[in-house]
Amino acid sequence: MKANTFDAIVIGAGMAGGWAAKEFTEKGVNTLLIERGPNVEHLKDYPTTNLQPWEFPHRGQLTSKEIEENPIASRCYAFREDAKHFFVKDKEHPYNQVKPFDWIRGYQVGGKSIMWARQVQRWSSFDFEGPQRDGFAVPWPIGYNDIANWYSYVERFIGVSGNKDGLDILPDGEFLKPWESNAVEEYFSEQVKKHYADRHVIYGRCAHLTESKPIFVEQGRGLCMSRRICQRGCPLGGYFNVNSTLIPWALKTGNLTLKTERIVHSILYDESSQKAIGVRVINAITQESQDFFAKVIFITAATLNTNLILLNSKSNRFPNGLGNDNGLLGKYIAFHNYRGTIQAEYHGFPYLTTEGAKPTSHYVPRFRNVYRQETDFLRGYAAGFGASPMRETDRSGFGHSLKSQLLQTKENGIWRVNSHMMGETIPKSSNQVSLDPENTDQWGIPLLNIDIDYDDNDEKMIQDFFDSFSEMYTKAGFVNIKTNDNHRRPGNDIHEMGGVRMGNDPKTSLLNKWNQMHNCTNVFVTDGACMTSTSTQNPSLTFMALSARAANHAVELLKRGEI
**What is residue 310's predicted lDDT score, i.e. its pLDDT?**
98
pLDDT given at position 285: 95
> Tell me, what's the pLDDT at 273?
95
Check residue 395 and give its pLDDT. Answer: 84
pLDDT band with cut points at 50, 70 and 90 for residue 2? confident
The pTM of the whole model exceeds 0.95:
yes
Q: Give the mean model confidence (pLDDT) for residues 282-301.
A: 97
Q: What Rg, from alpha-carbon coordinates, does the chain have?
A: 24
Q: In terms of C-beta distances under 8 Å and separation of at least 24 residues, what long-range contacts does 90-94 make, across chains too?
A: 93/441, 94/441, 94/447
* Residue type present at position 172: D
pLDDT tens digits along 311-336: 999 999 999 999 999 999 999 999 99
Region at 225 (left for phi over 0; alpha for psi -120 to 50; beta for the rest): alpha
CB atoms within 10 A of CB 488: 18
β-pairing, 362-364 vs 202-203, is antiparallel
Quick: pLDDT tens for 333-369.
999 999 999 999 999 999 999 988 999 999 999 999 9
Tell me: pLDDT of 403 over 90.
no
Domain ranges of the chain: 1-143+240-335+428-450+495-563, 162-204+338-424+454-489
Number of residues written out for the chain: 563
Q: Answer left, alpha or beta for residue 38, where phi above 0 means left and psi between -120 and 50 means alpha.
A: beta
- C-alpha angle 251/256/257, rounded to 5°? 115
- Lowest average pLDDT, out of 1-10, 79-88, 447-456, goes to 1-10
Mean pLDDT rounded to a whole number for the chain: 97
pLDDT higher than threshold 90 for residue 411: no
Q: How far apart are CA 129 and CA 540, in angstroms?
A: 19
Q: For residue range 359-398, what is the model confidence (pLDDT) as tens digits?
A: 999 999 999 999 999 999 999 999 999 999 998 888 888 8
| Model pLDDT for residues 204-251, shown as the tens digit of each residue | 999 999 999 999 999 999 999 999 999 999 999 999 999 999 999 999
Instruction: Count Cα neighbours of 198 within 13 Å in the Cβ-side half-sphere.
Output: 10
What local confidence, expressed as pLDDT, does residue 125 receive? 98
Pick the CATH number of 1-143+240-335+428-450+495-563 from 3.40.190.10, 3.40.50.300, 3.50.50.60, 2.40.50.140: 3.50.50.60
Return the sign of the alpha-carbon dihedral for residues 28, 30, 35, 40: positive
